[in-house]
Structure 1
Amino acid sequence: MVALVLLVLLLCNSYCPVTSLNEEGYALLSFKQSIYEDPEGSLSNWNSSQDNPCSWNGITCKDLRVVSLSIPKKKLYGFLPAALGSLPDLRHINLRNNRFFGSLPAALFSQARGLQSLVLYGNSFSGSLPDEIGKLTYLQSLDLSQNLFNGSIPSSIVQCKRLRTLDLSQNNFTASLPSGFGSGLVSLEKLDLSFNKFNGSIPSDVGNLSSLQGTVDLSHNFFTGPIPASLGSLPEKVYIDLTYNNLSGPIPQNGALMNRGPTAFIGNPGLCGPPLKTPCSSDAVNAGAPSSIPYLPGNDSPQDKGSSGGHNGKGGGLGKSAVIAIVVSDVVGICLVGLVFSYCYSRVCPCRRDKDGNRYGFEKRGKRRKDCLCFRKDESETLSENVEQYDLVALDAQVAFDLDELLKASAFVLGKSGIGIVYKVVLEDGLTYAVRRLGEGGSQRFKEFQAEVEAIGKLRHPNIVTLRAYYWSVDEKLLIYDYIPNGSLSTALHGKPGMVSFSPLPWHVRLMIIQGIAKGLVYLHEFSPKKYVHGDLKPNNVLLGQNMEPQISDFGLGRLANIAGGSPTLQSNRIPIEKSQDKQSKTAPGSDVATVSSTATIGGTYYHAPEALKVVKPSQKWDVYSYGVILLEMVTGRSPLVHVGPSEVDLVSWIQLCIEEEKPLVDVLDPYLEPDLDKEEEIIAVLKIAIACVHASPERRPTMRHVSDALNRLVAS
């Protein structure tokens, strides 16, 4: 009997098939092989010892067929292989908030046609969307936000008629929206295209998206032309965000576009009409009118009136005498307006004073009101004694005060420099702002100033100081920023003369600060509308918030000062910076620093990349170099100009000398960081990043995105 059992076992071992992983399992193992880093071991149980992958982490099956791949927020670093397209029953992919890179494989769209949701936001995917996306006729949710995708949206996307969520925000998509966008995607409930580079006109058929809910976000793009009246056909509960585009013409007053505040339309200088304060001229109204109205005989055609080849017949244009009369009357009228303007401008009213002698308020003279708007004189400077009555231009919905309130507020001088005076301004309701006065002069360049300041006003990031509003007149050019309470990074690192107590920054705070600066620069370089270069980054331009979070300030300030007619110590962030021009101290807006430390004053030029004096066009690698010097300063605690015996060398040369001489870390480290020597590995890692950033060759320096990713990995480890 025992022999019979052994015989049966031998036969089974010889002829019974051995269980092995199915085809879907091997397709998923291809995905695992495309992952270079899996720090949390999310794929640790993915192996070929089982007959199917249904028990693997992140895998969901139905009837032993893979229907879902969901591994979010696991720090996976790799690319997406085409093999995923060979999963015929795959319905859902969720890989959000990882570190995937590369393009999307076309095979994923052409083969996995049953896909219903593709959620990839918060990665580093790049390239364009494959045309095959139109084959996903069952797709309901497509979220590719916060990546690096570029190119245009394939026209085939309009075939995804079941699509309910489309979020492409915070990418680099360009071109216009595809034809039939509104009439094809009729099931859309959520639409977010913000923070891209879409251009062209907004399709008129977007009004057909009757299922939309919440906010339709088209903000921070380059859409041009008029707002199509059909947008008013969207459900009235839908909020339409059109801010910061290049739209023009009158705002249609119908349906969902009615009763909206100005915050839905700001950042479009060409828009006019309610709810904006800018009235529409007759030309703007005509431009916004339908162009298909036929010309009727007997009516004056606008085209005929403006034609250079006007009619000379009896019913034609104006005669010579009429033209001369019009020209003469225009000249006389302009002269009269000029005389009246000169008379009004020459009359200056004194601001009234309170019992303590502080200037305040405005006063009236008889029937003719003459405004005289001033800060209370809490310090030796007033913001303005003679301000022409122009409107304060808000760049943000949070600005709830007007020019009168601003100029009547208590103002304290924070600092002075060649770039202007900076005030801390406390409004009557307790809100605090930082106001920079750019000086008097340059009255002919308002349009240029307006374009530049409104472009800067579009920047919104937790690590960038927000420009909230501006004011322009012949006598005053004001920039209104958020007030940042904890001063500059320069003061936090080195203190300042007269400081009663100084608390050195511990390592974990320094690490948080350098992370935040990196994130702010990544936003400027990659996600801002024009992929800006700061051009003058240094510790004095990094302010520290309530919880010591860093905020980069003074972006574009040199350019604005040049336009405003001041005498800035900075150059434009598009112009090379001469070392001799940076010897005057400069106070960043929002900083409680009356005078910057001698470190920042003397060493300001040492943050500039060596090629900045040779190359006309600035590069983002300039900012990388400046950031590297800041890292060296954070680690060593030394100023950018180091004393070595009787001589002085810049900080970059000094650190290279220390490396050549193989000095121990304790000789390089800021003495205040000695209690943090248990973090030696982190400190050395940051030092290596700094050295890479200050490489003499710009091409050898990393991008800020790579720097930020490296710091994130360091903190997470």
Structure 2
Amino acid sequence: MVLALIWLVFLLCNSCALVGSLNDEGFALWSFKQSIREDPEGSLNNWNSSDETPCSWNGVTCREEKVVSVSIPKKKLVGFLPSVLGSLSVLRHVNLRNNKFYGSLPVELFNALGLQSLVLYGNSLSGSIPSGIGKLKYLQTLDLSQNLFNGSIPTSLISCKRLKNLDLSQNNFTGSLTAGFGTGLISLEKLDLSFNKLSGLIPGDMGNLSSLQGTVDLSHNLFSGPIPASLGNLPEKVYIDLTYNNLSGAIPQSGALVNRGPTAFIGNPGLCGPPLKNPCSSDTPGVGSPSSFPYLPENYPPQTSDGSNGKSGNDRGLSKSAVIMIVASDIVGICLIGLLFSYCYWRVCACGKSKDEGGGNFEKGTKGRKECLCFRKDESETLSENVEQYDLVPLDMQVTFDLDELLKASAFVLGKSGIGIVYKVVLEDGLTLAVRRLGEGGSQRFKEFQTEVEAIGKLRHPNIVTLRAYYWSVDEKLLIYDYISNGSLATAIHGKAGMVSFTPLSWSVRMRIMKGIAKGLAYLHEFSPKKYVHGDLNPSNILLGQNMEPHISNFGLGRLANIAGGSPTLQSSRMTSEKPQQSAPSEVTTFNPTLTVESCYQAPEALKIVKPSQKWDVYSYGVILLEMISGRLPIIQVGTSEMDFVRWIQLCIEEKKPLADVLDPDLAQDSDKEDEMVAVLKIALACVQNSPERRPSMRHVSDALDRLDTSAD
């Protein structure tokens, strides 16, 4: 017995000697290392007990020899979170995202009262959030998403007045949101509670969260009852996602809830009213009273003191003599207008009709336009409309050139297609533009063209090509865009015939492009004025700027071409695009004549449904992701036959082929980013699901890609 005690004392002394040189904070982190069961990448190999402080250890940041940050993301660490982390007196940031930590959150962690960010998403942590979290008065970011947490969200959380980013999505939280949620978290900028089991009413005070930005995501929960009208008080640019809950009643039509598409409310069978096609009945709460219509005063229609709506019993209409006088006045007025119209017609057209003459790339149809404006047999527009048509119409204040400058400019053909010719145009002052000539015809539909093109011209996003101006005449229609200098994504991925040298895109550049496209599409789908659909997204329609930033082009082009009469082969109302200007052997469909490059980007339901949907764009985007990951053309040669690109990827997965068979060999130098590539592959596969309902929204895709932040590693 005595020998055993001596041996135990020896072991304890030896253990103290091992870490004896470490300060208190180093000892705390050494205990954290002991809680790690697996470290396959050796991320903690330089955590040595012989050091005096832990400030040189991987993932540790110190200030005045005090640990302020522990950041070890995406290192496949397996273990639990020790309570000793809470003893780090000036700890500000903890980032252990995308590892394999399990167990619960230790209560003692919240003894680090200066904690500003706690990022633990993408682990397997479980249990409830301790109420002690309310002690963190300086907490600004709390991200516990993609874990296994359960229980209710603690009421003490509303004590974290400085909280800006709250993401608890994709867990198993239950219960209701506490009252005071909206008045307590007044600094909140991001809120994501999606994919949980939260129930009860949405707090009415959430409309007080005036600092919110982006998307408020309450989707895929069990919230019930009506949508609080106070949500309309949120900033108008905020997108409110309430899909797939148990909400009921009329959708309030106020503030941030106005002009939202149906995609924000689907999955709630009890909801009614615009923008849903399910009309509200008269007994639906909030429907039926004049006050429920925001544009009518409560006392509409006005009533007199006797309740007769302003009509007296003796007021039986106009007298017979009054009616005769009104009719006679109308006849005289019509005659005068007819005489005036005839005079103007002959006066204007006395100058004679000048013949159109060809003259350079853009001059056809513009000769003689300044000499006189005459009605033509194939035009139904009024004189004032003709004046509008024969001028260059700018769509923003940055347009400083006029039509004459455009016609005198040097022009170079960039490409030709069934939708017309695209020119690179260099003005005298050096400004470079891209001008698309839509062709001739379509003179009867100017107003329709004008409405469509001006709506497109209002779109402003860094990842969408900007339409700056347009020109319309009977036989000339021009669209003037910003010129994007680095060609198309199709060329950047696969090269182009005649290229002397081809430099493959690095993974970081591909990630930048993928994120940019996702942001542009999310803007079109959810944040643009009309919740647009592109309808024909492919790499040839994505242009790359000077810093390889992506710009989605040809948006709305198919409809404009239909109106202008310059596109003879458009299918239904879908947008079309130019043929890729590359030598792609996959375009030779010897063995499968129904398989074309264009069809590879079309969602399966496109063959059955006439009207494009946002989920079509999601599918097309997924194919583009797969193309960028693999570096392959969209049609794969398999033996003596050809296979759809998506089907080929799915076949590789079914046959459990190694990842190297799918990834672009040119990405071999980025092997340290393999986890990121796998994550993007999973996102792509979610986008190309056969069922449209199973595909994510572009906003969710964009958020998922943003989390793959290479700069944070």
**Structure-1-length-normalised TM-score:** 0.60
1:322-352 deviations in Å (ceiling 9; x for gaps): 6445444544544555556666683147699
What amino acid is the match of 1:634? M
In 2, the alpha carbon distance for the partners of 1:624 and 1:433 equals: 30
Equivalent residue for 1:477? Answer: 477
What amino acid is the match of 1:347? S
Equivalent residue for 1:313? Answer: 321
Find out whether 1:448 has 2:442 as its counterpart: no
In 1, the alpha carbon distance for the partners of 2:181 and 2:602 equals: 52
In 1, the alpha carbon distance for the partners of 2:232 and 2:694 equals: 40
In 2, the alpha carbon distance for the partners of 1:567 and 1:522 equals: 28
In 1, the alpha carbon distance for the partners of 2:610 and 2:638 equals: 33
**Contact 1:524–1:532 at 8 Å: present in 2 too?**
yes
Closer, same or farther in 2 for the Cα pair 1:45/1:640, shift >3 Å? closer
In 2, the alpha carbon distance for the partners of 1:415 and 1:156 equals: 48
Find out whether 1:399 has 2:399 as its counterpart: yes
Tell me which of 700, 703, 707 is aligned to 1:709. 703
Equivalent residue for 2:145? Answer: 77
Find out whether 1:133 has 2:201 as its counterpart: no
- Per-residue deviation at 1:118? 1.2
Secondary structure at the aligned position of 1:445 is classed as helix
In 1, the alpha carbon distance for the partners of 2:205 and 2:235 equals: 15
1:447-482 deviations in Å (ceiling 9; x for gaps): 322222232223222222122222333232222222
- Per-residue deviation at 1:535? 1.0
- Per-residue deviation at 1:364? 9.3
What amino acid is the match of 1:317? M
Secondary structure at the aligned position of 1:428 is classed as coil
In 2, the alpha carbon distance for the partners of 1:43 and 1:664 equals: 29
In 2, the alpha carbon distance for the partners of 1:95 and 1:449 equals: 44
Tell me which of 115, 123, 129 is aligned to 1:57. 115
- Per-residue deviation at 1:693? 2.1
Tell me which of 347, 354, 358 is aligned to 1:347. 354
Tell me which of 672, 681, 697 is aligned to 2:675. 681
The range that moved more, 464-473 or 344-353, is: 344-353
Tell me which of 138, 141, 145 is aligned to 2:213. 145
**Contact 1:387–1:475 at 8 Å: present in 2 too?**
no
Identity within the alignment, %: 52
In 1, the alpha carbon distance for the partners of 2:640 and 2:352 equals: 58
- The aligned runs of 1:154-233 (5 Å cut-off) are 154=229, 167-172=235-240, 177=254, 197=259
Find out whether 1:630 has 2:630 as its counterpart: no
- Per-residue deviation at 1:131? 6.2
1:161-180 deviations in Å (ceiling 9; x for gaps): xxxxx7452325986558xx
In 2, the alpha carbon distance for the partners of 1:417 and 1:656 equals: 33
Closer, same or farther in 2 for the Cα pair 1:523/1:323, shift >3 Å? closer
- The aligned runs of 1:349-498 (5 Å cut-off) are 369=371, 390-498=390-498
**Contact 1:409–1:425 at 8 Å: present in 2 too?**
yes
In 2, the alpha carbon distance for the partners of 1:520 and 1:329 equals: 55
Across the aligned residues of Structure 1 and Structure 2, the Cα RMSD in angstroms comes to: 5.0
- Per-residue deviation at 1:608? 0.5
Equivalent residue for 1:120? Answer: 188
* Structure 2: 5+ residue stretches without partners: 1-93, 118-131, 219-225, 242-250, 262-274, 276-299, 302-316, 374-385, 588-595
- The aligned runs of 1:568-647 (5 Å cut-off) are 569-571=569-571, 574-575=573-574, 585-586=578-579, 595-598=581-584, 602-647=596-641
**Contact 1:488–1:543 at 8 Å: present in 2 too?**
yes
- Per-residue deviation at 1:624? 1.7
Equivalent residue for 1:203? Answer: none
In 2, the alpha carbon distance for the partners of 1:489 and 1:505 equals: 10
What amino acid is the match of 1:169? K
- Per-residue deviation at 1:489? 0.6
Equivalent residue for 2:66? Answer: none
Closer, same or farther in 2 for the Cα pair 1:600/1:69, shift >3 Å? farther
- The aligned runs of 1:222-301 (5 Å cut-off) are none
Equivalent residue for 1:668? Answer: 662
Secondary structure at the aligned position of 1:499 is classed as coil
What amino acid is the match of 1:313? S
- Per-residue deviation at 1:41? 12
1:232-260 deviations in Å (ceiling 9; x for gaps): xxxxxxxxxxxxxxxxxxxxxxxxxxxxx
Secondary structure at the aligned position of 1:705 is classed as helix
1:332-376 deviations in Å (ceiling 9; x for gaps): 5445555566666831476999xxx998999999xx8569xxxxx
In 2, the alpha carbon distance for the partners of 1:441 and 1:463 equals: 32
1:560-613 deviations in Å (ceiling 9; x for gaps): 1111222254446x54x8xxxx7x9447xxxxxxx3444686512211011101
In 1, the alpha carbon distance for the partners of 2:174 and 2:348 equals: 62
Secondary structure at the aligned position of 1:461 is classed as coil
- The aligned runs of 1:475-554 (5 Å cut-off) are 475-554=475-554
In 2, the alpha carbon distance for the partners of 1:403 and 1:133 equals: 54
Equivalent residue for 1:562? Answer: 562
What amino acid is the match of 2:113? S
Closer, same or farther in 2 for the Cα pair 1:691/1:340, shift >3 Å? farther
1:420-450 deviations in Å (ceiling 9; x for gaps): 1112222233222212122222222223222
- Per-residue deviation at 1:395? 2.7
What amino acid is the match of 2:708? L
What amino acid is the match of 2:165? R
1:40-72 deviations in Å (ceiling 9; x for gaps): 99999974349x85725249xxxx996874433
Equivalent residue for 1:691? Answer: 685
In 1, the alpha carbon distance for the partners of 2:652 and 2:215 equals: 40
1:504-558 deviations in Å (ceiling 9; x for gaps): 2222222221222122222222222232221101110111111111111111111
In 2, the alpha carbon distance for the partners of 1:665 and 1:438 equals: 45
* Structure 1: 5+ residue stretches without partners: 1-34, 159-165, 179-192, 200-221, 223-290, 293-308, 372-385, 588-594
Find out whether 1:96 has 2:191 as its counterpart: no
Closer, same or farther in 2 for the Cα pair 1:146/1:568, shift >3 Å? farther
**Contact 1:104–1:125 at 8 Å: present in 2 too?**
no
Secondary structure at the aligned position of 1:77 is classed as coil
In 1, the alpha carbon distance for the partners of 2:174 and 2:351 equals: 65
Equivalent residue for 1:14? Answer: none
**Contact 2:113–2:138 at 8 Å: present in 1 too?**
no
Equivalent residue for 2:35? Answer: none
In 1, the alpha carbon distance for the partners of 2:585 and 2:116 equals: 53
In 2, the alpha carbon distance for the partners of 1:77 and 1:542 equals: 32
What amino acid is the match of 1:55? L
In 2, the alpha carbon distance for the partners of 1:44 and 1:401 equals: 65
- The aligned runs of 1:644-659 (5 Å cut-off) are 644-659=638-653
Equivalent residue for 1:379? Answer: none
In 2, the alpha carbon distance for the partners of 1:132 and 1:389 equals: 51
